A and B are shown apart, each in its own frame.
Chain A
Amino acid sequence: MYKITRSPWVMHYDGSSCNGCDIEVLACLTPVYDAERFGIVNTGDPMQADILLITGGINTQNAPVVKQLYEQMSDPKVVVAVGVCACTGGVFKECYNILGGADQVIPVDVYVPGCAARPQAIIDGIVKGIGIFQERLNKMESGEDEKSSQEEKDSSEEKEEAGKEE
């Protein structure tokens, strides 16, 4: 099994936010915190990224953008929501154009709270994300058969849930 934990490439997307968390994300790369010592690279390219870092809430305009970015990333991939706006919508939650947190459009794996989230918390969130990333890779490499059977299970569960709703 390949250990992938040493090289997480992060893509940062800023939704509808006050930019406080974005400044903190950038602070992670400064000499004080130096996220690159863990191999963390801030990349702008979804096709090469492993972790999608979302700051800010999701509004009606950026929802398709976030979805597209997530779809362009190759498996395995992890989503980290940074800051309270990306987690739930935060202070903007009741605004007419805000749909809520990042989990309204894509599956989120790690929630990093804070307004703004501290750099230590962001790095901690990314490190947690790497763990999930490794698990997914192991699953992916342990064979397509299990994957397909899992998908069948998932789909049957979904059907059950849908039935209940009806």
Chain B
Amino acid sequence: MSDMTIKIIIAVCYVLLAPLIGGLLDGIGRKISARMQRRVGPPILQPFYDFGKLLHKDPIHVAPSQDFMMLSYLFFIILTGGMMFLGMDLLMCMFILSTAVMFLYFTAVVTGSHYTNIGATRELLQMVAYEPCVLLTCVAFYVVSSSFNTADIISKDISPIAYMPGVFIAFVFILTIKMRKSPFDISTSHHPNQEIVKGITSELGAKNLAVYTLAEWYETVFLMGMVALFILNKNLWSILAAVIVVFLVYFLEILIDNSSARMKSDLMIKLSWGVTLALAGTNFLVLIYMFN
């Protein structure tokens, strides 16, 4: 089989399987959250039931351009993950991810609602908070494996995490911001019955919310793929280790989500930049010293 055929198979598998995995992770997360609060919780397939129902509701459009923006958001999120799983440039993935988030921002601001505008502004603040760490992570991968391509990063003898534990911890820290979980759920207020009514998604009609949910599942898979990138190496057993680490990180996110209250945005920026500088920055300096 030629390289091209394998790549096409991987791309098709990713597009079809990523929402399934993302939805299941979401369902497992809701179940674990419920158990942490001593509730029975919804069935694990609940996110899929919700998704199906949203698709069957009548469409509502607050602004005509909303559909286009939302579909662009989904498209760029799919592209981001697709590029990473096809072994392409990690830095480019991150730039496309930022483009996707810009489309989400525009979806929110075209409506003119106060709630979505507050949510959108806070979403930009969240970007400011996590972007330095994301870029530093990409560059640290480059220093360790002398390539931005994910295919080269996973084909080394030693897992990248051995060289960059500080970067890993900082990345897991900003993962909470990226996944919009407590205490950093400032752009969405996490529950739709709280003060900014889910902020950025509050003016989305049922069908657009379904598209947003789908994009979130792809994004979860992409972010978990980023976590796995720290663990993977030439040895096939590292895949098992990566899956275990991904589940541990996901569990940690749920635990943090359930045990903390929402933070103020300025504190979030200070904290995330502080952690990025202290852990990822120091680690990065050591890496430069080691590899030059």
Contacts and interface: CB of A to CB of B under 8 A. Distances in A.
A56 B54 CA distance: 29
Interface string A33-54: 0101111011111011010000
A53 B81 CA distance: 40
Taking each of B37, B41, B43, B57, which has the highest tally of chain A beta carbons within 10 Å of its own beta carbon? B57
Interface in A41-71: 41-45, 47-48, 50
A41 B192 contact: yes
Taking each of B49, B58, B192, which has the highest tally of chain A beta carbons within 10 Å of its own beta carbon? B192
B34 interface: yes
Given A43-B192, A75-B58, A34 B202 contact: no
A44 B119 CA distance: 15
B205 A47 contact: yes
B266 interface: no
A6 interface: yes
A140 B130 CA distance: 45
A9 to B, nearest CB: 8
Taking each of B37, B53, B206, which has the highest tally of chain A beta carbons within 10 Å of its own beta carbon? B53
B42 to A, nearest CB: 5
Given A7-B46, A7-B49, A34-B40, A44 B198 contact: yes
Interface string B184-213: 000000011110011001111110010000
A120 to B, nearest CB: 16
Interface residues of B, number: 33
B194 to A, nearest CB: 7
Size class of the A contact interface (CB-based, 8 Å) = 20 to 34
Given A7-B46, A37-B41, A74-B59, A48 B53 contact: no
Contacts of A38: 42
Contacts of A74: 57-60, 205-206
Nearest to B61: A47
Contacts of B204: 47-48
Interface in A6-29: 6-7, 9, 12
Contact of A45 (B54, B56, B57, B202): B202
Given A6-B49, A37-B40, A48 B206 contact: yes
Interface string A66-83: 000000101110000000
Given A44-B192, A45-B202, A47-B60, 17 more contacts: A4-B56, A6-B43, A34-B40, A36-B39, A38-B42, A39-B49, A39-B50, A41-B50, A42-B191, A42-B192, A44-B198, A47-B204, A47-B205, A47-B206, A48-B204, A50-B57, A74-B58
List of 6 A-B pairs having minimum Cβ-Cβ separation, nearest first: A43-B192, A6-B49, A74-B58, A44-B193, A75-B58, A7-B53
